Structure 1
Amino acid sequence: MNNPELLIGKKLHKLRQSKGYSLSQAEDLTGVSKSMLGQIERGKSSPTVNTLWRIAKGLNVSFSFFIEEDKQETTIVSPSEIKPIIDENNKYRVYPIFPYDKQRKLEMYILDLEPHYSHQSEAHTTGVEEYIFIHQGILELTTGEKEYTIKTGNSIHFNADQKHIYTNITEKTTIAYLTMYYPV
């Protein structure tokens, strides 16, 4: 995954064309401007985490659809070789370790969240579940009206088909491993 911008752009263009959507129609479905969609398709702009989620949700594909590469029988992944997808403030980074697998219906990520920073994630499609293991730090997770504090070495599972917020409440970067399960 040497150049994720080009891979994301090619996949977006191919997906949009296969569905017969114009840039304007894709804009209506995703809430992302057609000029931004065009820049992403041409590899001229790298989408933020939230932008990529909005595109994936609007076009009804998984988040990692855009970063999937051809599958190998055995895969060794080094996070240091993966370019993360970042949010607008560069304080939340998502490293796509294992992109969406249609047979297994899951994908895996490493999340980095800077000290005292919150990232709001939009609701995923119905039935999507998240499994999070905290490798370093403490993560405060808000789902609906409930707050959970997950410490180093602990894990949490929740239904992610509602808006949720990840907050690092420590002085150091919080690192977590995230597995997303898609029922369909």
Structure 2
Amino acid sequence: MTDIKAQIKEFRIGEKIRAQRQLRRLTLQELSDLTGLSKPLLSQIENEQVVPPLATLLKISRGLKVDIHFFFEDETNRQKLVVTRGEELRPDLQRQAVNAAVRPYTYHSLAQGMRHKNMEPFLVEVENTTWDDKLFFRHDGEEEFLYVADGAINFHYGSEVYHLKAGDSAYYDSSQPHGLVAVGETKARIVAVLYSKG
């Protein structure tokens, strides 16, 4: 976990959240009211004592009225192209379900540094774990696409379950409850793209 914390600091997410909150003249309590997240948790995130999972970042981005990819942008980067080499991938974020003991997904950003984008692509490593409804996520204003590169997953969307294997994909409105787990002998790897409708 320490390595991931060190790597996440390179994004300066806590600093970006604080700057946006202050720019919008919001107190921590007001941001807490907007996001449904506790004031102590927001303070810990701003001070980079806690690594926020992706679902938490989505809530904060909505509260601050910025797109999720804002947290992965490098303000000094003027590139119009980002090439990500496989050997350069690193775990950027882990998504943990509320009250879940495990962190079922590890995200690797595939467009780190690119500014002003509507899509945020990730390579996601999905752990083989037993499905629990606590693994459901939902977030308004986003569409998602996923492509199974290796292994197999059970993709839960509302009350439906879809078994997807390497080569299969799904495009969906992420305002509906959704989640996934790897099934089989090994963890799965998927490419996931989040699209913000703005």
TM over 0.5: yes
The 1:111–1:18 alpha-carbon spacing in structure 2 relative to 1, beyond 3 Å, is: same
Counterpart CA distance in 2 for 1:20 and 1:155 is 42
1:9 lines up with 2:14 in the alignment? yes
Partner of 1:182: 196
Partner of 1:43: 48
Counterpart CA distance in 1 for 2:192 and 2:120 is 8
Match of 2:135 among 84, 95, 120: 120
Q: How does 1:98-137 map to 2 (within 5 A)?
A: 98=111, 102=116, 104-118=117-131, 120-126=135-141, 128-137=142-151
Counterpart CA distance in 1 for 2:130 and 2:109 is 21
Which amino acid in the other structure matches residue 137 of structure 2? E
Q: Deviations over 1:4-33 (max 9, x none)?
A: 236101110111111111000111111222
Partner of 2:82: 75
Q: Deviations over 1:26-84 (max 9, x none)?
A: 11111222122112112222112332232223333333321211342332223544332
Counterpart CA distance in 1 for 2:93 and 2:121 is 13
1:97 lines up with 2:110 in the alignment? yes
Partner of 1:86: 94
Counterpart CA distance in 1 for 2:123 and 2:146 is 10
Which amino acid in the other structure matches residue 139 of structure 2? H
- TM-score, normalised to structure 2's length? 0.80
Which amino acid in the other structure matches residue 50 of structure 1? A
- TM-score, normalised to structure 1's length? 0.85
Unaligned runs of 5+ in 1: none
Q: Return the structure number with greater strand share.
A: 1
Counterpart CA distance in 2 for 1:121 and 1:55 is 18
The 1:122–1:142 alpha-carbon spacing in structure 2 relative to 1, beyond 3 Å, is: same
Could you tell me how far 1:160 is from its partner in structure 2? 1.1
Partner of 1:25: 30
Q: Percent identity?
A: 24
Could you tell me how far 1:101 is from its partner in structure 2? 5.3
Contact 1:140 1:148 in 2 (8 A): yes
Unaligned runs of 5+ in 2: 1-5, 97-101
Partner of 2:99: none
